[in-house]
Amino acid sequence: MKKFWIITYSAVLLLLACQSATLAQKFTASVDKTTVGVNEYLQVDFAFEEGNVNELKSFTPPSFAGFTIISGPNESRSMRIINGQVSGSLTYSFVLKPTKLGKAEIGSAEVTYRGKVLKTQPVTINVVKETAGKKIPSSAGISNEDLKQNVFILAIPDKRRVTQGEQITVTYKLFTRLNIASPQISKLPKYKGFWAEELQSSNTINFKYEMYKGKRYKSAVIKKVALFPTRSGELTVTPFELKIPVIVKKKRSVDIFDDFFNDSFFGRTKTIDYFAKSNTLRIRVEPLPEKDKPESFAGAVGVFDISANIDKQNVKVNESITLRVKVSGRGNIALLKVPEVKVPPGMEKYQPKITQSINRKNIISGRKVAEYLIVPRVPGEKTIPPIEFSYYDLRKKKYETVRTPEFKINVEKGENDYTPLASGYSKEDVKLLSKDIRFIKTDFNLQKKSNLKLLSNWFWFATIFPLIVLVGVIGFYKYQNKLAGDVSLLRFQKAEKKAKQKLKEAHDALKNGNKASYYELLYHSLLGYLEDKLDISKAEFTKEKALNKLKQLGVAQNTIASINDVFEKCEMARFSPNAQSRESGEELYNKTLGIIDELQNSISNRKKMRRT
């Protein structure tokens, strides 16, 4: 008898648990607002909760009488397992637009779960007259004003008031409540008065849900850029524009055959190209203080340190020394000027080789390194004084100066070297003699030589050839002095070589499958070529300024269009998934190479014509 009651009690508990589990499942309808304008949008969610979503079948939405379906159904689900029991939630979302004023009812949606039909409760919506003015509907039943409210870009700066040279991080976010396809760049923003550095971001657009002004949107970061103002005053960043394909449902036709194919199984949709534009940014830039500004300050803003090392301190005359100076820290690395190294008399210093490494994650940081080649010409103990570097510290709001230690060099006399009586002269001032004066020979016999030719061919050759060499050496020396004194001419002459060297690095990156590095190197090879060839500094360079200068030089319009096309493709490749498929990397590389060759001939000829 006792065993009977135990079995009965267990069965009742199991039955109650099953009944409780059945009652736990909920299928409800909710809206983001119950009062909506006739030309506004409404989001309705049909949510199934507390059950195994894999067992859901036959979702049937209501007819949505009095509404136009703009987007949906969009599914979002979540699952969890507790004590071996699978449960979760599944939400079907629709974006609707009312078609008439007054009361409208969203009917019941249905879903089948474990053979049982679950229904939602109807929801009543109050549709009122809009207050934003009459809107012109498009052929797809959606106006430009509707699109503007539901698909837009926000440019979000981390600060709006900064000091000259201070970093501003601008994040461009895409917000949408509609179904969209992959966006394409229509127009890039202009950063006039700023030095811009693209920050690292994902090559794909990853959406997440976000509330904005009381409404829920899907949002994604599409671009991040670090801006460094190069002058004070109120500066403006122009809008960033994207062409966004918006997918909307077509209107039903009165044709019976169209009604058949309008079934959701056939996915009757239409794509509208919408041009979304971000807001214009206005940044207030305060000038750097003039008080206590050190003489060695050259525009560095942030937090920096300097270090230097020398490869040897005991050398012989004419033996080279390498002095390496490194400036590192956080701030406007690309605009830094490596401090000048002063050498004592009796030492020659050559133009440094400068390299830089920049970290573009969030706060721009990195280092800039200069390698100086120094050659001592006279023996003795030489001292290279400390190297100074000054910057404006944003945290302390004052100028700071950092220094390297001084370097003492012991220069010994080399083998067969002539030691001058007075030190401190360069190689141009001192003529070294490798042989002593020869004694006069006194014992000799004179003989008469027949058929003596006073002026032989060798005489004329020995007389004229040194003159030709001298003229060539003088011309070359003057040319080198001209280049050394004219920085813009030096940049102009070496622009092609530097650009093609960077292009080679880009091509190597493409062969190794590193597409992100390939497009960045390709972009900077063309950008650097235009900076050097057109004599535009990094701080003042903009794409528009370069293209206008090319027009003034009479460069062909199709070449200018090709340059603009290469810049845009490289920009798109950084985040747009479809950008790389339009034109292969090899074709874009050949196109850039052809542009540089064409500009080299065109600009060089124009320069020669102007000089003449």
CATH code of the domain containing 497: 1.20.120
Question: How many domains are there within the chain?
Answer: 4
Number of H helices, E strands in the chain: 10, 32
Task: Pick the last residue of a domain from 128, 163, 198.
Answer: 128
> Which conformational region is residue 47 in: left (phi greater than 0), alpha (psi within -120 to 50 degrees), or beta?
beta
- HSE-CB of 38 using CA atoms within 13 angstroms: 15
User: Stretch 227-253: mean pLDDT, rounded?
Assistant: 83
Residues 249 and 348 occupy one common structural domain: no
Is there a single domain that holds both residue 148 and residue 282?
Answer: yes
Assigned domain for 479 exists = no
Mean of the pLDDT values across residues 89-95?
A: 80
For residues 595 and 562, state if they share a domain.
yes
| Residue 478 belongs to a domain | no
Mean pLDDT for the chain overall? 76
Residue 316 and residue 392 in one domain? yes
Q: Which domain holds residue 23?
A: 2-128
Least confident of 74-83, 229-238, 319-328: 74-83
What are the tens digits of pLDDT across the range 139-175? 445 677 778 888 999 999 999 999 999 999 999 999 9
Considering the domain architecture, whether residues 250 and 347 belong to the same structural domain is answered as no
Instruction: In whole angstroms, give the CA distance from residue 417 to residue 423.
Output: 14
Neighbour-count burial of 109, counting CB atoms closer than 10 A to its CB (0-12 exposed, 13-18 middle, 19+ buried): buried
Same domain, 274 and 398: no
Reported confidence tier of residue 472, pLDDT bands at 50, 70, 90 = confident
Q: Are 61 and 46 in contact (CB under 8 A)?
A: yes
With bands split at pLDDT 50, 70 and 90, how would you rate the model's confidence at 471?
confident
Alpha carbon 368 to its chain's center? 19
Task: Among 90-94, 327-331, 508-512, 534-538, name the one with the lowest average pLDDT.
Answer: 534-538
* Residue 217, pLDDT above cutoff 50: yes
User: Do 235 and 152 share a structural domain?
Assistant: yes
Q: Count CA atoms closer than 13 A to 364's CA, side-chain side.
A: 29
**If DSSP codes are grouped into helix, strand and coil, which group holds residue 143?**
coil
Single residue among 286, 310, 330 that ends a domain in this structure: 286
> For residue 462, is it within any domain?
no
Based on the domain organization, do 91 and 163 belong to the same domain?
no
- DSSP 8-class letter at 265: G
Q: What angle do CA 525, 531, 534 make, to 5 degrees?
A: 125
Among the candidates 230, 259, 286, a domain finishes at 286
Distance of CA 239 to the CA centre of its chain: 16
Backbone angles phi, psi at 10, to 5 degrees: -65, -40
Q: Are residues 6 and 95 in the same domain?
A: yes
Residue 228's nearest CA partner among 173, 306, 170, 280 is 170
- Strand 281-286 relative to strand 233-237, pairing: antiparallel
My answer on whether 509 and 388 are in the same domain is no
The CB density around residue 582, as the number of other CB atoms within 10 Å, is 13
CATH of the domain at 325: 2.60.40.740
CA pair distance 23, 264, nearest whole angstrom: 31
* pTM recorded for the entire structure: 0.49
